[in-house]
Structure 1
Amino acid sequence: MTDLTACLAALVFLVFAVHRLAISRRGRTDPAQRDVAGFALCAGTAMLLNAPAVLGVLDRLLPSPDGELLVANQLKAAAAAFLCLVAQALDPQAPGPVSARRRRRIHAAVLVQLTALGLFLGAGVTESGTAAVAAPGRGWALAAYNALFTAYLCWCLYVLARALIRQSLRTPPGSLRTGLRLATLATVIATVWALWALDDVAENVTRGRQGLDEDLISTTLGMVTAVFAAAGATATLWGERIAAPLRRLRARRTHQRLAPLWSALFAELPEIALDPDAAARRPGLRRADFALYRRVIEIRDGNLALRPYQRPEAVNWAMEALSRSALAAPDRQAVFEAAVIAAALESKRAGTPPTGTPGQQSPTPVVVLETVEDEAAWLVRVTRAFTRSRIVDDVRDRIRAQVTTG
């Protein structure tokens, strides 16, 4: 199982690296994608070297098998260095020239690599079966070697996560922001993966040794990191293909949720239906966006047509009831709008002649409606209040009693 997860993780990283390099060579992406490809290439190769089956092959081919640990960790550190360069590309307005900051991060990566090499050689590591064993009394050097790599990996991941979060906050909704969030999640999982190596530090200090291959938890974390990283980096390619059907499903569901309010308006004002034949049918997925747009317009047209039937006393009753309620401001506004619509419908249904447009004192608007999606979401709240609110039911009953008595 460990072999399978390690090889799958390595495969995801390596295929993704080849894909990024191919796109970069065709000039279809920015140069920073080469850093992304470098990270995936180094991480995938490191994961492959840690697979037990690969270790067995290397034991038969290489004269110094204990170097496998060194090479794998050096590759992981190189992958982390590439992540720092990616983070720099995500935040180009940071203080200082871009080239100077890039050089500093490369110099820091080289310094970590050289320091780690010195500690590894100082530990006098040899192989014993499937474990790397430090020379007697030098377990501390092997522990320092692993602690240095873990600290450097975590620092690089922190730098990347900070850049990803800042960039996602500046990015409007869409596949790009989805990709940034998936990449942030991959960074969090990768941090857990890096910290998992701290159990080796404890074994280095107490026993002066550690296993050469990755355990199942480590390889699983690596595989999950690879999947989320690849998904985040390619979200602009697959995001719209998935987002469009999901958007249509949401539109059709919202269309159905608006049905109670629309039906009540249509029963008294059939002229609001732009297409009477299509209005009553459940729309197909392909026309769900348009059907929702049409339904929003029809509800708003119905609301305007009811304004001459609005009753000042209904407005006052709704305001009085809301002043005693503990509803949040957006809910108060939705209940008020639903109560006014319900009262006007009762007035029209009873045949009360229109009296003009009365002045209204409504709750201060707290919801900004800028898009059709915003408008539809707001009307869903109004519909919910129209069918469920006790305040709306009370105003409706009082108006019905009033017009019936009149």
Structure 2
Amino acid sequence: MTDLLSFLGAAFFLVFGVHRLTITRGSRADPAQRYVSGFALCMGPALLLNSPTVTGGLAADPALDTAVMFVSHSLKLSGLAFLALVAYALKSPAAGRTALRRQARLAGAALAASLLLFLAAQPHTRGDELSVPDGHRWALAAFSALFALYGAWCLLVLARELAGHAARTAPGLLRTGLRLMMLAAAFGAAWTAWALDDVLGDLRAGHQGVGEDMVSSLLGAITALLATGGATATLWGGPLGAPVRWLRAYRRYRALEPLWSALHRELPQIALDPSAAERRPGLRRAEFALYRRVIEIRDGHLALRPYFDADVDRWTAGAAEDGRPRQAVLEAATIAAALENKRAGRRHSAQGARTAGAAPQPPAAVAATVAAETAWLLEVTAAFTGSPAVADVRRRVRRAAAGPGGTAAAPDPRT
């Protein structure tokens, strides 16, 4: 299982790195993209060299095994340095050459210090463990701590810049990608910090494992997946994003069903396609079905205008709703009252209908788009099915329909 996770993470990093490097060639390429490619092309081989299969195959030659371990460590450190460069490339305004040179010198110093500490530790491998002689444990512990602390600093710098960009970015695939990259940075920080576990072992016993353990391999694979998803998020709007859009549309189609069904029972003519009104759409037709459902709900709303009750606004004025928009509750209550009036055959005057119909309008911020209208109707549906104020309006209208001393019609359990 550890081998599988290591190979999976390495494959994601290598494929992604080569792909990004190929499409960002040229003098005008975004520097951040080149640095991301450098990170991926460092981390992929590092994961591969640390896999149990590779470390086990090198166990017969301790000198080569030790050298490969240091190469893997240096690749990881270089990859983290590339992430810091990504953060500098994302700065607004962009960081100057002096800042980039300073970061490159810091990375070089970290690599040089790692080499010196590694040599001072005088390590040797035995099986799947790296050991040092007595009196050299401090060097091995410092070697591991330098990696963890420098890596955490690089990821902190990157996360800070990604958070700033995500906050300034409008909702959409780009912001989703930035948030995924922030998650990748968080898991990467955990992956890097896991090296501190080696520090304690170095000081106590003077040895540490050569290959990736289960936790480290899992964190590496998750980091690779999140980083790849974040960097390619803008591609999801095309064919790659179709299944996600279909599923989202299908869920919204189903979420609107309580309101649509209540309208359709009293006004079956609102169904644009009567033969499909009671059928569940397939995922591939969910977007069209959702569009049709929104139109049908609005047609039902218009058809109920003669039954709108002018008292609904007054009845709901003092209602306390936790988190529900006032206008959504008002529209849901107006529809609920109109449905009760229609069942009882109680039409209101034209003036009363106009007065009632003018009240529950969507907020001005709701744009004339299917997505915005759907979001608004989802709020109305939630109030229609779960608002105490709407339930109270239903009871009032049923009592009024029963008349003095009369008995109200049995309420429809589906509304």
TM-score relative to the length of structure 2 = 0.82
SS at match of 1:33: helix
> What is the alpha-carbon root mean square deviation over aligned residues?
3.3
The question of 1:216 aligning with 2:211 is answered no
Q: Is the 8 A contact 1:165 1:184 kept in 2?
A: yes
Q: How many residues align?
A: 400
Match of 1:339 among 330, 333, 336: 333
The 1:28–1:273 alpha-carbon spacing in structure 2 relative to 1, beyond 3 Å, is farther
Q: Quote the offset at 1:56 in angstroms.
A: 4.4
The range that moved more, 133-142 or 285-294, is: 285-294
Q: Is the 8 A contact 2:312 2:330 kept in 1?
A: no
The 1:127–1:252 alpha-carbon spacing in structure 2 relative to 1, beyond 3 Å, is closer
For residues 266 and 28 of structure 2, the distance between their equivalents in structure 1, rounded to whole angstroms, comes to 57
For residues 377 and 365 of structure 1, the distance between their equivalents in structure 2, rounded to whole angstroms, comes to 11
For residues 397 and 206 of structure 1, the distance between their equivalents in structure 2, rounded to whole angstroms, comes to 74
Partner residue, 2:366:
369
Partner residue, 1:120:
118
The range that moved more, 45-54 or 70-79, is: 45-54
SS at match of 1:375: helix
Q: Can you give the 5+ residue segments of structure 2 that lack an aligned partner in the other structure? A: 405-415
Partner residue, 1:81:
81
The code of the aligned residue for 1:55 comes to T
For residues 314 and 18 of structure 2, the distance between their equivalents in structure 1, rounded to whole angstroms, comes to 68
Give 1:7-406 correspondences, 5 Å limit: 7-25=7-25, 30-58=30-58, 63=63, 65-93=65-93, 97-238=95-236, 240-266=238-264, 281-319=279-317, 323=318, 325-328=319-322, 330=324, 332-349=326-343, 350-352=345-347, 354-356=349-351, 357-358=354-355, 368-370=365-367, 371-403=369-401, 405=403
The code of the aligned residue for 1:85 comes to L
The range that moved more, 357-366 or 303-312, is: 357-366
Q: Quote the offset at 1:125 in angstroms.
A: 2.8
Q: Quote the offset at 1:244 in angstroms.
A: 2.5
The code of the aligned residue for 1:46 comes to A
Q: Quote the offset at 1:150 in angstroms.
A: 0.9
Question: How many percent of aligned residue pairs carry the same amino acid?
Answer: 51
For residues 55 and 251 of structure 2, the distance between their equivalents in structure 1, rounded to whole angstroms, comes to 53
The 1:28–1:178 alpha-carbon spacing in structure 2 relative to 1, beyond 3 Å, is farther
TM-score relative to the length of structure 1 = 0.84
Q: Is the 8 A contact 2:59 2:128 kept in 1?
A: no
Q: Quote the offset at 1:83 in angstroms.
A: 0.8
The range that moved more, 220-229 or 388-397, is: 388-397
CA deviations 1:175-201 (Å, max 9, x no partner) are 333332222222222211111111221
The code of the aligned residue for 2:349 comes to P
CA deviations 1:190-247 (Å, max 9, x no partner) are 2111111112211222233333223232223222222222232233335643532232
Q: Quote the offset at 1:353 in angstroms.
A: 5.1
Q: Can you give the 5+ residue segments of structure 1 that lack an aligned partner in the other structure? A: none
The range that moved more, 53-62 or 146-155, is: 53-62
